[in-house]
Amino acid sequence: MSRPFPPRSSSSSGAFVRVNGKIRAREVRVIGIDGTQHGVMALGDALNLARASGVDLVEVAANAVPPVCRVVDFGKYRYEQAKRDKESKKHQHANKVKEVQLSPKIDPHDLGVKIQHAVDFLCEDMKVKVNLKFRGREMAHTEFGFQVVRKFIEEITPYGHADFQPKLAGRNITVMISPLPRNKRAKNPNDAPNAGAAGNGTQSSHRSQPAESPRTPKPRPDAEQQNSGEFANSPFEQLEAKP
């Protein structure tokens, strides 16, 4: 019994590449095995060129008119393509969102800690969602909450910008902050003290180590001298010395 055909919506259909006899175009633009341009050729002539070189004819640009094909080993082509995809993914940071909770009566020190966390997130190319929640009778004075949120945004201006103005939804004030581009963003101040402390520590450790000098063995004192010196300043002798 033959296996059913895979669905057209499968994920593998997007990475499908036509090779050799699966190419449907009558004429193709051929790129040689060494990168030279052979121009537009009939499909049969292009296949004969690939067979003469002992490699495959791979369609690299199916949407072009005529399609562009390359004379290359298909296994090598797939390896190079997977390597390029892997390198491109390294530079693409996942679009993560971190949330910071605030309150209208937040302590200034706690607000500073929240700002430091937000700066760390923004310097790692993450978005920050600020959420300030009112409780009980705090809804009677929402202006205090807006003051806290505006101060928060003002402090992190060198690292990110608000996507929209803070808005009140129910009992919450929310705002989304996106990181600035790396060339316009200030450096993370939380990393500088650690790096400086580490550098000073290494320098001080090298300076504090004296040069090693040969040590000469000291003569061991006799037992009588050691015993007399051990109890020379004992409280018992001090009591006997008193009249």
Q: How far is CA 140 from the centre of its chain?
A: 42
- Examine residue 42 and state whether it is found in any structural domain, yes or no: yes
Note whether residue 172 is domain-resident: yes
- Separation between Cα atoms, residue 53 and residue 50, nearest integer Å: 5
Measured CA to CA, the distance from residue 108 to residue 116 in angstroms comes to 12
Same domain, 116 and 170: yes
- Is the pLDDT at 147 greater than 70? The verdict is yes
Residue 233 has pLDDT above 80, yes or no: no
CATH number of the domain to which 56 belongs: 3.10.20.80
pLDDT band at 9, cuts 50/70/90? Answer: very low
Question: For residues 10 and 144, what is the distance between their CA atoms, to the nearest angstrom?
Answer: 53
Q: How many residues are given for the chain?
A: 243
**Would you state the pLDDT for residue 205?**
41
pTM for the model: 0.45
pLDDT at position 227, please? 47
Residues 62 and 115 in one domain: no
> Is there a single domain that holds both residue 141 and residue 111?
yes
Average pLDDT over residues 172-198: 78
- The domain containing residue 133 runs over which residues? 97-179
113 in the same domain as 140: yes
pLDDT > 90 in the chain, percent? 28
Q: Is residue 138 part of a domain?
A: yes
Number of compact structural domains in the chain: 2
Task: Tell whether 71 and 101 lie within a shared domain.
Answer: no
Same domain, 111 and 145: yes
Q: What is the pLDDT of residues 160-177, one digit of tens each?
A: 999 999 999 999 999 999
Residue 188: what pLDDT? 86
CATH number where 126 lies: 3.30.110.10
Structure tokens at 59: 């369609």
| Ramachandran assignment for 224, one of left (phi > 0), alpha (psi -120 to 50 degrees), beta (any other) | alpha
